[in-house]
Structure 1
Amino acid sequence: MSSRRAVAITGSLVTAALSVAVILPSSATADDQGPGSGKGGKAVDAAPAGVKLTTSLPEKISVDNGSKKTAITATVKNEGTKKSGEVNLLVVGFDGLKITRVPGCSEIAAKDLPTGSNSGYTCSVGSLAAGGSKSYAVAATYDLGRAGKMCLPVVSADGKKTFWQQGPVPFGTANPSPNAPATPLLLGTDNKPVAPGGDTLPKTGVGDDVLPLGAAGTALLAAGAAGLYWTRRRPGRLQV
């Protein structure tokens, strides 16, 4: 091998190595919300044979103490062995957590929101292949003076069945940081709001007392509009 050719090959390898060095760190740190978790999730109606639908939320989020804004990644996945068929994902906020935007999804009218919720969007997921998933970038605000919860139901295209529902599950912290630029919150953690006199709100952890809030759902999708009607149910019973 001539010295000129050796230099050319060496130069190519160095360029490739530098390219990898630039690409890998950015992809590794693209998601700083930690691993996704299905905490607070449960199956409601039976899914078609071979289909297993689940959702996940980040283990941690961060709320800007000035703007009160936060970003949350919501993911729906088919862990089964067959295509899911057409399904929709609902993204709903409760109490101090308000959903402000989900790109590619339609806002739920205030009159059609689930009981107790303050905001929501419905997303047409389509049919997920076996092992397939789809993630949505959720923009929200969080009033750190209150508790805040989020709910992710996965419903059939006609809205008659709820195959899976995560939450309403809280994001919160027991160590507020009012003087810091941002406050980190953990999934499934009761929030301890900062308030004059050290007042705190009742616990809002995941439990049987909060599950009936959204155990059944009906999505109404027509003419580009989206609506949702949820009914309360007793534990162990589903009303549709």
Structure 2
Amino acid sequence: MSSCSTSKNITYFKDVPDTVKLREITQAAYYTPVIQVDDILQVNIQTLDPAASALLNQQGGSSWPVNGSGPATPAAAGVTGYLVDKDGNVVLPVIGKIPVKGKTTDVVRDEITAKAAQYYRDPVVTVRFSNFKITVLGEVAKPSTYIMPNEKVTLLDAIGVAGDLTIYGKRENVLLIRDKEGKKEFVRFNLNESNLFTSPYFYLRQGDVVYVEPAKSKVANTDMAQVKRISIIASALSLLIVLVSRVNF
């Protein structure tokens, strides 16, 4: 009986009626994430001179290992890019040192473009995170650390890349853990309610951890399996003792 789950416990957004044709919710505002110390940035500078572009984009020597796998990074592979040092800077070939901590990738792109324009004509610059990683743990199909392909990542995106919750996942109490200025923030989500779209934490930031608790039925099943194994072992030992005693007799 403890292993059974009703549909009301596993359905997302059950507060939206089945008969509704249109329902609008004002979604939380999206804030572009800022660059932090130890982030890894992928910087690409293209110029009219192919040789100059090759020189500016020499990032092969800076490869940093990443645990887990994701849609953009295979397992056991490294992430290539420029590491943001403890002072919040990256050092680019020819361009030199660029302060990036606390800035968005768009701002850094414009600053690098202005620097590159001092040496090259009409440079085209792109800047993105190479290590925008999200960790999903607990009752999901594929718990791991994932490198996301873009910066605009939602809670549902993280759950999706992890293969969705298992049948034992506690949908009404999903936990988000976030580092913020040396402190930990803990936020709870209820996937059964549509108002999670209005939460300011709906959009994730690099380094966020999503944890899905197991339901009581999973714990009960685990305990039951342990009791069953112990009973089997005890029965086997009892049988062995009986056989040994008869042989000795």
Using structure 2 for the length normalisation, give the TM-score: 0.26
Normalized per residue, the structure richer in helix is: 2
Larger Rg: 2
